[in-house]
Structure 1
């Protein structure tokens, strides 16, 4: 029996011990190499893109010779105005990517000894950077489309005679949302959050190329897809695959997201569902990469992503939702 990739040595190319033992200079050098990889780690002004800079002996700062702008290795990134040591951010990224089913903010706060609020915002900043690559992405070829509801759990009554059918709208709390997935076979995964599966049709038209072949289940709202795409349907009440069509890859994504909801985060509803589903899509797409490769990709995404307008100063606002 072949060994699963995650159990092989090829999947383990990064050690948390190595990151945790970095000195401040080594961590700073690693940040430079990741952020300015195109110039071999040599700093470039984030304001005017000039590569001619002054350095300071007493502080790890740079000053642009062209526009006199002072900046650091984290200026203009999601780590701008940081409070933690650079090594702690590298360690947090390494811990974050090692969680195959995600990593909770509470656990990360204990791992790097920070407040829960700090870990909560940090993980969401990483999710925002990871999902940025999906912003304008489209899918083509063989594309599987399906939806599943998450969040807004209604606890069943203790006695059987008092229980109700929680699938009915009158017995729901209104917080549940459907995650609709558009997944290429042997390709990328695009998740979106809607109030219903039918509401996703305009987005499908924008994100799925017209030459694609769509695989969907027997739900009536997918009938409209036949107008614009070559569409193959599978009746799940009869089978999961009939040799012509299936949505097994989409179900695989939902399985990962469901395990993350139940076993790791426990509550991913509300305005954050899209962030968690995007994270799981990223993990699903890069599941065959080693943890070292994932670490570099997330770190690079974070250091090339601009300051987050959603999460910078999040806990200082007078109105927020947790």
Structure 2
């Protein structure tokens, strides 16, 4: 029997031991090469694009010969205004991608010895950067669609006579949200957080290419998709697959990862940030057959290509950004 890829040596191409053994200088060179890939690590001014720069070696900064602006390798990126060293940032990314079912901020803060707030914001910045990969993605071919509800649990009262019918809308929490997922077979997974699963119809029309084949369950709101796409419906009360390709098992696999992430790692996820965790689970699901080194450098490259976060920069100071 062939060995599973994730158990093989090819899946382990980066380790914390290797990162810290290489030291701060090697990590810094890695940041430079991934930030300025087209110039093989040679600095490019983020303001005017000039390649004629010189390095201020004592401060690990650069100065542009054209506009005289000073900048660093993380200026204008998701890591702008960082205080952690490059070695610690690279180690944090390695730990982040190694956790196949997600990583709690508390565990990350202990692993790299930083405050919980620092780890929490860093993890969310990484999730924002990885989500940018599919921000404008359109799926095509064979696509599965489904929704799963998260949060909003209403705890029943202790005394039987005090309990309410939690099936009624008046007795339900307003924090309950549904994650709607579009998953292209052998492709990417797109996630959206909404209040009702029926809102997925409009999402599908906008993000699924014409002439695609849609697979869904027997929920009535998916009937509207049959006017626009060829569809394959599966009744889950009878079977999960007809053994001829009609199923939603791949999108259910994503939901399984997300539920394990929420229940097993984070235990509680606010409805305000559920979209972040859904994007993280989708990215891990789509990159599950890559080595941890490939995932780490891919995420680092995406982070260095992503602009300053207007959501997470100054989060704990409650700073507001345009």
Give the structure-2-normalised TM-score. Answer: 0.94
Q: For 2:232 and 2:160, how far apart are their aligned partners in 1? A: 40
Q: Which residue of 2 aligns with 1:179?
A: 179
d(CA) in 1 for partners of 2:215, 2:51: 49
How many residue pairs align between the two structures? 319
Deviations 1:85-140 (A, max 9, x none): 11111111011010000111110011111111110100000000000011110000
Matched, 1:237 2:232: no
Match in the other structure for 1:115:
115
Name the SS of the counterpart of 2:231 in structure 1: strand
Aligned pairs for 1:168-207 within 5 A: 168-207=168-207
Please name the residue that 2:254 is paired with.
253
Tell me the equivalent position of 1:263: 264
TM-superposed deviation, 1:268: 1.8
Q: Which moved more, 1:21-30 or 1:233-242?
A: 21-30
Q: Distance in 2 between matches of 1:180 and 1:233?
A: 17
Give the structure 1 partner of residue 291 of structure 2.
Answer: 290
| Structure 1: distance between partners of 2:166 and 2:260 | 20
* Deviations 1:222-261, CA, capped at 9 Å, x for gaps: 0000111111111111111113511000100000000001
For the 8 Å contact 1:176–1:269, the answer to whether it is kept is no
Partner of 1:79: 79
260-269 vs 290-299, greater mean Cα deviation: 260-269
Distance 1:261 1:166, change over 3 A: farther
In structure 2, the gaps of 5 or more residues are none
Q: Which residue does the alignment assign to 1:48?
A: 48
| CA distance in structure 2 between the partners assigned to 1:263 and 1:163 by the alignment | 29
d(CA) in 1 for partners of 2:259, 2:239: 22
TM-score (norm 1): 0.94
- Runs of 4+ in structure 1 deviating by more than 4 angstroms, as ranges, are 156-168
Distance 1:209 1:146 in 2: 17
The equivalent of 2:69 in structure 1 is: 69
Partner of 1:216: 216
Offset, 1:177: 0.5
| CA shift digits 1:39-91 (9 cap, x unpaired) | 11111111111111011232211011111111001101111111111111111
Structure 1 residues without counterparts, runs of 5 or longer? none
